[in-house]
Amino acid sequence: MDALRHFKWDFVVLLAALGVAFWYGGTAALWLAMILVVVEIVFSFDNAAVNAKYLARLNDAWQRIFLTVGILIAVVGMRLVFPFVIVCLTGGVGPAEAIRLAFEKGDPHTPGTYGYILDQAHPAIAAFGGVFLLLLFLDFLFDTERDSTWLSWIEKPLLKVGKLDQLSVIVVAAVLLVASQTLAADDEQSTVLFAGVLGIVVYLAVNGLASVMEDAEAAKAEQLHLESDDEGATTSAGPSAGQQVLLAGKAAFSLFLFLEVLDASFSFDGVIGAFAITPDPVIIALGLGVGALFVRSMTVFLVKRGTLAEYRYLEHGAHWAIGSLALLLFVTLEFDIPDVVIGLVGIAFIGAALATSVVANRREAEVADAADEIAAEAAPAPGIFESGAEHEHAVVAAATTTEQDD
């Protein structure tokens, strides 16, 4: 019931959007919009899981901004305005002409149509999105401060080499160079290289700005904590050891920008792929927009419920899904890979991570129960002349002895 209450406004918007789709194009448009909503939700779960990792560092006010201003950017900006901009730039047409082409609903495989012009921008979009997502994946793999590993046979060796500074940038630059020379067409190599380098610059700039602002916020909170201690105030005024500082102000704004660019990197190729389902930009905007709203709410839901902490390998699986998506984007420079294949690869990683998390949690619970049973069996029963306090002391002593033996 809590989950239903959390998504209540999403369902209200869904019903409204489906009503608009039916009014706009009848039953056919209604079904197409529903398909796009489902596709966006299912294939973007890895996006929600990764976003939750960063959203957990924002305070409640910025989390609300993520669901309001952020969703406007995601829906209006990425699902509606962005395709028009791409068509104008790639096709060399004006905004009025782009709108006219959009409502002609021409076959995306026919030269000169809205969908065809948008598809011509795929190499640049794939290079930018692939580079950005691959950097995010490699930064996670090379993070030596991680507490746990999932695919340990791969991740542990990578943690050792991750001590090399800027290794992720070196690897991504090498992948971009190889992909541009081997997978991109001859007349697209310079475009792929430019878009990829731009992706590296944007990632380093936005992620670096967020890191600097976050460190400054943490230092400020620590300074306030120390000052309160010097004045004899209670230590609750600052963050306790191990407690994460929730970001606000400039630091939160920087991380918010990073989240928006991350969402754009996920949605770039999805917007183009939606034209394989329907060439109608209105239906695409409705379907993908509502789907994006559900994904945003899912992100906040994961943060509120602490799902990333409960399912320890979910974050790992999401990053592996992102890594696979990034590499597949590079492969699409030469080969036509259906969106359903790309989505199913990500779902497979997420599902495997959830399953292994459940198994690990169950194993830990069984070990804890077994330890409790051993402690209970080792504790002596209270004697006739033994008081309740003495019996309690004996039970504690027996449990301690058992733990030492383990």
Is 312 part of a structural domain of the chain? yes
What pTM does this model have? 0.77
* DSSP conformational letter for 315: H
H helices of 105-188, where? 114-119, 122-141, 152-161, 167-182
Q: How many CA atoms lie within 13 A of 23 on its CB side?
A: 7
Is 38 part of a structural domain of the chain? yes
Domain of residue 8: give its range.
2-268+282-337
Residue 398 amino acid letter? A
- Residue 247's DSSP bridge partners are 58
Is 211 part of a structural domain of the chain? yes
Instruction: Give the contacts of 218 (CB within 8 A, at least 6 positions apart).
Output: 245
Nearest to 74 by CA among 32, 40, 116: 40
Is 228 part of a structural domain of the chain? yes
Is 39 part of a structural domain of the chain? yes
Helix (H) or strand (E) holding 27: helix 8-43
Is 386 part of a structural domain of the chain? no
Please tell me the predicted confidence (pLDDT) of residue 395.
47
Mean pLDDT by 10 residues, the chain (406 residues): 72 91 89 86 77 81 82 79 82 83 80 84 88 90 83 85 83 94 90 92 84 69 60 48 61 82 75 76 85 84 80 86 89 84 84 89 83 74 50 50 46
3 state SS of 58: strand
Q: Which residues of 349-377 are buried (b: 16+ CB within 10 A; e: fewer)?
A: bbebbbebbeeeeeeeeeeeeeeeebbee
H helices of 274-334, where? 281-305, 307-310, 314-331
* DSSP conformational letter for 150: S
Is 392 part of a structural domain of the chain? no
How would you classify residue 105: left for phi > 0, otherwise alpha for psi between -120 and 50, otherwise beta? left
Task: Pull the structure tokens for residue 18.
Answer: 């489906």
In Å, what is the CA distance from 315 to each residue of 58, 225, 255, 306?
18, 31, 18, 12
Please tell me the predicted confidence (pLDDT) of residue 235.
44
Please tell me the predicted confidence (pLDDT) of residue 403.
45
Report how many domains make up the chain.
1
What is the total residue count of the chain?
406
In Å, what is the CA distance from 374 to each residue of 264, 360, 397, 399?
54, 21, 13, 8
Nearest to 155 by CA among 354, 349, 320, 345: 320
Residue 192: is it exposed, middle or buried by C-beta count within 10 angstroms (0-12/13-18/19+)?
buried
3 state SS of 247: strand
Is 102 within 8 Å of 172 (Cβ atoms)? no
Is 263 part of a structural domain of the chain? yes
Task: Pull the structure tokens for residue 327.
Answer: 């590499």
* DSSP conformational letter for 147: S
